[in-house]
Amino acid sequence: MEHKLSLRKLLEGSEYEEQLNYDFNMKGELRHLDTNESFVFNYYKNAHERNHKRYQVLGHALTQYVYELLERACMLQKVYIPTNATEDEPRSFFFMSEKALTSTSSLTVLLQDCGVFRAGQWGQKTIINEGLEHGTQIPFIKTALQSQFEVIVLNPNDNFLHLKTEEERLSVFKRQESSSSMESLRSILKRCSSSPEEHTMYVWDHFISKSAAKKVAFIAHGYGGLVFIDLLVQRKWEVMSKVFAAAFIDSMHNTQHQAGSDPQIQEWMQKHCQEWVSSNKPLDKPVGSLMKVNCPTVSAGTEKYGLAPSCCLHAIFKYLKSALKTKTGAAPFTRSPIATRSSTSKKKSNK
């Protein structure tokens, strides 16, 4: 993977700068600059807390590094939300290609698993252990752009602003008279992005649903699959008419639990969704599942959860291109006259 950024520079000034003498090589693998060895978690003997803190510092630098890759290597634009945020309000953001909203060609939306990792990452541990090609969404983004798809990269796990210092907490406390304790001010929920579900719903309502693209595809990993089904239930007719395919990877969704016995959603999923799951079977071979009968399920070509996205990348885009041809000649779903947004505006804030 081509990159000219330096992870090492992002680690400068941290309290673990000397103990984190790592950067990515030309293959996108994280290696020690002196020994060329892979990352070692247990740097300190019998000191899990210190090792974990060191790991967190590395993770924060990785987040910034991938953000910069999205902008520099993939030429994506950072979009801050909510769009009506005040000057001093904590904001989240997501990334999109230059013509994501204006192009009439297809649009691909990437939705990752839940965790500490942010936009552009499938998994932080996978980046550290296996490299950028396997742990980031960049190969997916580049493949989409090369296939004439526009791209939106969601940032569903960016839900809080963490207040690190007492001065910061005191400053916010003075502005928020309704706060009952200083403990509640150690972190602040970001409006319209307080959960993966709310973040995804907001980007759908204000950007994806208003985009010129009439054909949208979702690629969702892990908890991201559950978030997509939540969106499908809340914005049923909009999603079914605009989304031509959803590719799940080891998804945590449960259609029966989330959508009940809605026959229209079940029928739509059977026709427009496919899931790739970690399995010892060869790539794309059918995998039986008693729990999920809502869409075809095939092998991701690996038994390792963290490697599943990169292993089935080409299979997913082959599926999307095939589904796109089918969608082009199909009649769109009609919007229900009784579906309203006001009745489904409440979000799940306890995730």
- DSSP code per residue over 161-184: EE--SHHHHHHHHHH-TT---SGG
**Does residue 125 share a domain with residue 41?**
no
End-of-domain residue from the set 73, 93, 124 = 73
Strand segments (E) across 195-295: 216-221, 243-249, 273-277
End-of-domain residue from the set 73, 101, 134 = 73
CA angle 289, 217, 149 (to 5 degrees): 135
- Angstrom distances, CA of residue 139 to CA of 76, 298, 310: 14, 21, 8
**Does residue 62 share a domain with residue 135?**
no
334 DSSP assignment: P
Surface-to-core class of residue 334, CB atoms within 10 Å of its CB (0-12 exposed, 13-18 middle, 19+ buried)? exposed
Domain CATH code at residue 288: 3.40.50
**Does residue 25 share a domain with residue 139?**
no
**82 upstream amide cis, omega within 30 of 0:** yes
Strand segments (E) across 41-106: 77-81, 92-96
Report the alpha-carbon distance of residue 23 to residue 62 in Å, rounded. Answer: 10
Q: What is the CA radius of gyration of the chain?
A: 21
**Does residue 68 share a domain with residue 80?**
no
| Whole-prediction pTM | 0.86
Could you read off the pLDDT tens digit of each residue along the chain, which spans 351 residues?
Answer: 444 688 999 998 888 888 999 999 999 999 999 999 999 999 999 899 999 999 999 999 999 999 999 999 999 999 999 999 998 899 999 999 999 999 999 999 999 999 999 999 999 999 999 999 999 999 999 999 999 999 999 999 999 887 664 444 344 444 444 444 444 456 789 999 999 999 999 999 999 999 999 999 999 999 999 999 999 999 999 999 999 999 999 999 887 778 777 889 999 999 999 999 999 999 999 997 655 567 999 999 999 999 999 999 999 999 999 999 886 655 444 444 434 333 334 333 333
- Angstrom distances, CA of residue 9 to CA of 143, 226, 274: 29, 37, 41
Helices (H), 100-191: 124-130, 132-135, 138-146, 166-175
Range of the domain at 127: 76-158+193-330
Q: Which residues pair with 93 in a beta bridge?
A: 80
**Does residue 63 share a domain with residue 80?**
no
Pair 55, 41: CB distance under 8 Å: yes
- How many domains does the chain fold into? 2
**Does residue 87 share a domain with residue 34?**
no
